[in-house]
Amino acid sequence: LEQLDLSDTKITDENLAALRGLESLKTIYVGRTKITNKGLGIIRTNCPNVVIKADVEMSGWGGEQNLATGR
């Protein structure tokens, strides 16, 4: 699994915790779905090299966020 589409999903901290162990994951597409800062932290912990792509600005960043570099 390299890309995960969460755009039509209600993202909770609990279901983000299920990402643990998915080292092969490269991209998470969230569309217009909101992710909390706590949720971003969970993703950062479980999938440190993943890139999050979003259709809207989220928590001060928009478009694309590489969690490894913070950009």
Query: Residue 71 corresponds to which amino acid?
Result: R
Angle at 60 between CA 41 and CA 26, to 5 degrees: 50
Burial 36-65 (b: 16+ CB within 10 A, else e): eeebbebbbebbeebbbbbeeebeeeeeeb
Q: Does pTM surpass 0.85? A: no
pLDDT-derived band at 64 (thresholds 50, 70, 90) equals: low
| pLDDT value of position 60 | 52
CA atoms of 67 and 60, how far apart (whole Å): 14
Domain spans in the chain, listed from the N-terminal domain onward: 3-66
The answer to whether residue 3 scores a pLDDT higher than 90 is yes
Q: What is the pLDDT of residues 6-60, one digit of tens each?
A: 888 888 888 888 888 888 889 999 888 878 888 888 888 888 888 988 876 655 5
